[in-house]
Amino acid sequence: MSQRVVVAMSGGVDSSTTAWLLKQKGYEVIGATMCIGMTDRARGGPARCCGVADIEDARRVALELDIPFYVFHLREEFEKEVVQYFCDEYAKGKTPNPCILCNEKVKFGSFLKRALELEADFIATGHYARLDFDERIGHYFLRKGVDQKKDQSYVLFSLTQDQFRHTLFPLGELRKEEVRNKALQRGLRVHDKPDSQEVCFIQESSYHSFLSERFEKSFEPGPMVDRKGNVLGRHKGIPFYTIGQRRGLHLAKGKPLYVIGIDREKNTIVIGEEEEVYGDTFIVESVNWIVPRERIPFHQTQVKIRYNHPGSEAGLSPKGEGELEVKFKSPQKAITPGQAAVFYDGDTVLGGGWIKKVLS
């Protein structure tokens, strides 16, 4: 009897091809799309996933593949676990990564639960990442996707062994162009659909108006200062700024200026020159280890501090329950509280956590 897998279909080429590949391999495939209450993407703008049009794209692909199709209504879960977190982090002066929370809490949380209620053995997604299972120790290992440009292992660092046990990543061994070619060969209508961009629940080009609508009271303006405390100007509100930001500061000093610090307690934005954006030491909290701790090369790992960061060599030092001090061998630009720091040994994800504060 074939194993049953529910594919998280977003209406895009990756998840559509995932469904087809698994059917070709003999799985009993069911397609399902999350409905999180988003409206259609703006005409002519960048694609956003999970809108009504995307649900219809997924439904049509499921019809083409002759597989059952469901819509999982997860608006409340998404609001609680992702949108509220997104707003709360900005209000604290941090820069959130909602995709990681969506994966952990919604796709591999609520969605997986619904799939198991359908007596599925697995869920599958279109992530470019790989899972290996070591039978000797009964442990799953998360590895980068073969396509380094599309690798999405960074946004999966917080998943657990139980989540991995019920997960398939069919695209991990493929490159993006191969996926599009396979979709074209199969005649899938979404073979040339643009990839989703940015945050799915932000319809505008900026998140500022979204935050303004979400918060009942307006954000309090405050001073922009340099490291010495000299006032350089006024900011519009803490949530509208992030470490490393250059645009929108409206400061004329004859040289490029950047946000180098955010002090929520004093309602102050700290401004500096480019070299001041760099740092090498920071604290990570809420650490999740994927690799058993006895296998962690604490003194020599590659650490990524955001999704598009190439990674840089660093040492890790435990600092109490669930915290680490990370020290890069060379300074890195814009180490940002609220973002994830993910640790690698080659193409293996060791684990990761959330940047709490920058020390230097």
56's enclosing H/E stretch is: helix 52-65
Please give the DSSP secondary-structure letter assigned to residue 202: -
| Helix (H/G/I), strand (E/B), else coil: 264 | coil
Q: Where are the domains of the chain?
A: 4-186, 218-272, 278-358
The pLDDT of residue 222: 97
The CATH architecture of the domain made up of 278-358 is: Beta Barrel (2.40)
Please give the DSSP secondary-structure letter assigned to residue 247: T
Positive/negative CA dihedral, 213, 43, 72, 27:
negative
- Structure-token pair, residue 96: 């959130």
Q: How far from chain centre, in Å, is Cα 28?
A: 29
Please give the backbone phi and psi of residue 54, each rounded to the nearest 5 degrees, phi first. Answer: -70, -35
CA distances from 173 to 40, 80, 131, 179, 191 (A): 32, 34, 10, 10, 18
Region for residue 292 given its phi and psi (left: phi exceeds 0; alpha: psi -120 to 50; beta: otherwise): beta
| Catalytic annotation, residues | 102, 200
- In this chain, the answer to whether the domains covering 218-272 and 278-358 adopt an identical fold is no
Q: Compute how many other C-beta atoms are within 10 angstroms of the C-beta atom of residue 301.
A: 21
- Show pLDDT as tens, one digit a residue, over the chain (360 residues): 789 999 999 999 999 999 999 999 999 999 999 998 755 444 334 345 567 889 999 999 999 999 999 999 999 999 999 999 999 999 999 999 999 999 999 999 999 999 999 999 999 999 999 999 999 999 999 999 999 999 999 999 999 999 999 999 999 999 999 999 999 999 999 999 998 766 888 877 678 888 988 886 778 999 999 999 999 999 999 999 999 999 989 898 788 999 999 999 999 999 999 999 999 999 999 999 999 999 999 989 999 999 999 999 999 999 988 899 999 999 999 999 999 999 999 999 999 999 999 998
The CATH architecture of the domain made up of 4-186 is: 3-Layer(aba) Sandwich (3.40)
131's enclosing H/E stretch is: strand 129-134
Length of the chain: 360
The CA-based angle 183-189-195, given to 5 degrees, is 70
Could you tell me which CATH class the domain 218-272 is placed in? mainly beta
CA distances from 158 to 41, 47, 99, 285 (A): 29, 26, 11, 12
- Taking 3-state DSSP, the helix, strand and coil percentages for the chain, each rounded to the nearest 5, stand at 30, 30, 45
